[in-house]
Amino acid sequence: MKRIIIFASGSGTNAENIIKYFQERKTAEVTHVFSNNLRAKVLKRAHTLKVTALHFDKASFYDTNEVLNILIDAKPDIIVLAGFLWIFPKKIIDAFPNKVINVHPALLPKYGGKGMYGHYVHEAIVKNGEAESGITIHYVNEQYDEGAIIFQAKTAVQPHYTADDVAKAIHHLEYKHFPVVINELLFPEEKAN
C-alpha cells in the first residue's frame, strides 16, 4: 500500500477529502497529517479519521532534523501540501525528490508567491476583474509556487462574483481533481488506461 503524508496549516477540508478518497480506494493511505498550527482544525479532522496527527514548531522544521527524521521513518511515497503556509526546507525536498507537491488556488504563474494564499488570492482575482481562475498542482521547490506544474484546471469568474464565490468554485476544483492527480502520480500506469 502506497503511503501519503499531508502537511496543512488550517481547516483541512482538502486533507479530509484526500484521506476519504484513499480510504475508499484502498490502494494508498494517508498515514500522517502534519501541521505547524496547534489549533488547526486539520489535526482534529485527521484524528477523527484515524490518521496520525502531529504538530511541529519552526525549530523542529527548519533548525533541526526532527521533522525530516519522522518523514524518513514514515517512508512516504508522496508528500502533499494542502493549505500549508510555510516554505518547505531544502533538506526535506532533497530527501524526497519529485515527491513533494502542492495545490495553489490560482493559475500559476499568476497570483503566486509569498503572501498569495487562500482569500488573498481570491480577493486579487476579483479586484483585477479576471475572467477565470483555477487551481495549479505543482512540485515544490525552495521558492513559493515556482515548482514545475503538474496539472491545472480552470473555472469561469462571473462579473458579479465576490471573493467568497471564487473560493467556492476553487474548492470544488480542488476536491474534484487533487485526489485524482495524487492517485495518478502514485499509480502512473492507471493514467494511461
Got the DSSP string for 7-58?
E-SS--HHHHHHHHHHHHH-SEEEEEEEES-TT-HHHHHHHHTT-EEEE--H
For the chain, what is the mean pLDDT? 95
Phi-psi bin for 128: left (phi > 0), alpha (psi -120 to 50), beta?
alpha
Does the pTM surpass 0.85? The reply is: yes
Q: Within 29-151, where are the H helices?
A: 41-48, 58, 66-74, 90-95, 118-127
% the chain with pLDDT above 70: 98
* Per-residue pLDDT reduced to its tens digit, 129-152: 999 999 999 999 988 899 999 999
CB-CB contact of 103 with 116 (8 Å): no
Can you identify the CATH homologous superfamily of domain 2-187? Formyl transferase, N-terminal domain (3.40.50.170)
Domain ranges of the chain: 2-187
Q: pLDDT by residue (tens digit) across 5-62?
A: 999 999 999 999 999 999 999 999 999 999 999 999 999 999 999 999 999 999 999 9
The tens digit of pLDDT for each residue in 156-165 reads 999 999 999 9
